[in-house]
Amino acid sequence: MQYLEIRGGKKLSGSVTISGAKNAALPVIAATILSDKPVTLTNLPDVVDIRTLLTLLTMLGGTVEHKGSVAHIDNSSINSHKAVYEIVSQMRASILVLGPLLTRFGECEVSLPGGCAIGQRPIDLHLKALEAMGAEIAIESGYVHAKAPNGLHGAKIIFDKITVGGTENIVMAAAMAKGTTTIINAAKEPEIVQLCEMIADAGVSIKGIGTNELVIEGTDGIPLQFKNVDIIPDRIEAGTYLCAGAITQSEIRLEKVKAEHIRASIDKLESMGFSFDISGDTITIHPAEHIKPVSLITIEYPGFPTDMQAQFMAVAALAEGESLIEERLFENRFMHVSELNRLGADIWLKGSTAAVKGVGTLHGADVMATDLRASSALVLAGLVAEGTTKVRRIYHLDRGYDNLEGKLTALGADIIRKKDTK
């Protein structure tokens, strides 16, 4: 098993280039199923989740040539409509093939994602919306069996709660449906904007891109022909490196980043005493005189992202005062708290709120990552902890961060990937 060994206390400096957004690339890859013509994707991040979804396309019968940040995809030869458990269990985003497979081929079988029950990070909103569009859905032996014998038709979809994956699945399903689909209470993250723009550039009429109401005119079964797609920068990776500069009180520069996509993170860091220079696609963070405590609540975009909560908690652990962090989107998003406390943080939980009392110093220890963003929070804490920190279970990190240790090393961190010899 691999782990990261970090010797803390190093100042960072220099610049880091932000990779393409994993959460934008995944729905874009799934959307290529809507086409029977080749399409090229560029600026793909080199992360496990991307390779997993591309593997799924090949298992469905598509052809993929993937090298570095570029993938050439041809789904004209898809001959299977079953997304098997072995792949879907590795990554929840595999559920995104449900909408495009069903609308293009009229049937599909997709394993329930991640081996989890529908009640947890549910897909029931996806299924209810597809049924409103004419799908016949049954769940048997851990698989969603979906059929649309007469094709999907447009419908008015009102999501009871904002769902990113649900919005993406229904946008893709509606693209080849018959008639008009209206999505009310749609998610409006930048990743959804890119998906909608990709589909609109293929000739599909989509009104309301970037708002919570989307109106989509389907092609009535005619496959789309996509232009090449360049994946947008990863706003969560960008926010993570800003937190790396903040926690180490270092001046670093981010390149190839969209400041408007990370405005919530920038605003919170400014409230903690940090300052920024923003010019075009570059952002420079400057150290604070002292780190002020912060109060934040995770909420859907453009609010503060749940995917940055853990990283900010690591920074808040060194603030002068008590920070309050409320998690409103996921019930199990505080699993990193006990591991941060192992490093000397002083964090208390009450329900969905964490009280973070700033401490003067963190101390190196062995810690275990529990999920993707928790992993990065532990790495951030390790950058400033006295002594050596070993972060284990870093396969979580590899799912979503492109060469994290390499980029941090280039900034001056003392971090190396090692392998247990046991």
* Residue 205 identity (one-letter amino acid): S
116 catalytically annotated: yes
Rounded to whole angstroms, the Cα distance separating 271 from 409 reads 28
Q: 302 preceded by cis ω (within 30°)?
A: yes
Residue owning tokens 């449906």: 177
Helix, strand, coil percentages (3-state) for the chain, rounded to 5, are: 35, 30, 35
Helix (H) or strand (E) run with residue 197 in it? helix 190-201
* Residue 147 identity (one-letter amino acid): K
Using CA atoms, how far residue 187 sits from 210, 285, 297, 306, 336, in Å, is: 8, 29, 18, 14, 27
Residue owning tokens 């962090």: 325
The pair of three-digit structure tokens given for residue 9, joined into one six-digit string: 């206390």
The pair of three-digit structure tokens given for residue 354, joined into one six-digit string: 């964490």
185: left (phi over 0), alpha (psi -120 to 50) or beta: left
Catalytic residue among 108, 116, 196, 243: 116
Rounded to whole angstroms, the Cα distance separating 27 from 32 reads 9
- Residues with catalytic roles: 116
